[in-house]
Amino acid sequence: MKLDIEVKYMLCTQHTLPPSILLAGLRWYAKRLRIDEDGDVADEFLEEVLPETSTNTEDHQRPFPKFEVKYSTRPAKVKNLLLSLDGKIRQCVEHKGRLQWV
């Protein structure tokens, strides 16, 4: 599946990489983004797996939290990308029919 993205960027004079390499990196990054039901955008979402509750009162130590990948997310529809002067990557993502910058 080809992801057709119009990429907008601003480059600072300190960048030593050519714009074509920066754009290829941004497209690769956009293909990995996922969106959840709340409209949050991330590379990967994790959910905490709650341990089985023990009725034994001798266990006073709380176990370390465990996490698993949340598979109920879907790929984000990235419309535009922006590499700002301060080096932050901003994405224009479609969610519930609206465009939002994240």
The rounded mean pLDDT for the chain is 75
Question: For residue 56, is it within any domain?
Answer: no
Q: Do the domain assignments include residue 90?
A: yes
Least confident range from 3-7, 64-68, 94-98: namely 3-7
* pLDDT per position as a tens digit, 23-34: 666 778 888 899
- Structural domain tally of the chain? 1
Residue 57 lies in a domain: no
Give residue-wise pLDDT tens across range 55-69: 565 556 777 889 999
How many Cα atoms occupy the beta-carbon half-sphere of 35 within 13 Å?
19
Tokens read off for 22: 């920066």
Does residue 16 lie within any of the structural domains?
A: yes
94 within some domain: yes
Confidence of residue 46 (pLDDT cuts 50, 70, 90): very high
Cα–Cα nearest to 28, from 54, 53, 7, 55? 7
- Residue 90 domain boundaries: 6-50+62-101
- Mean pLDDT, range 6-17, rounded to an integer: 46
d(CA 50, CA 66) in angstroms, rounded, equals 7
SS (H, E, C) 24-77: HHHHHHHHHCEECCCCCEECCCEEEECCCCCCCCCCCCCCCCEEEECCCCEECE
Task: Give domain status of residue 88, yes or no.
Answer: yes
What percentage of the chain reaches a pLDDT higher than 70? Answer: 68
Tell whether 24 is covered by a domain: yes
| 55 belongs to a structural domain | no
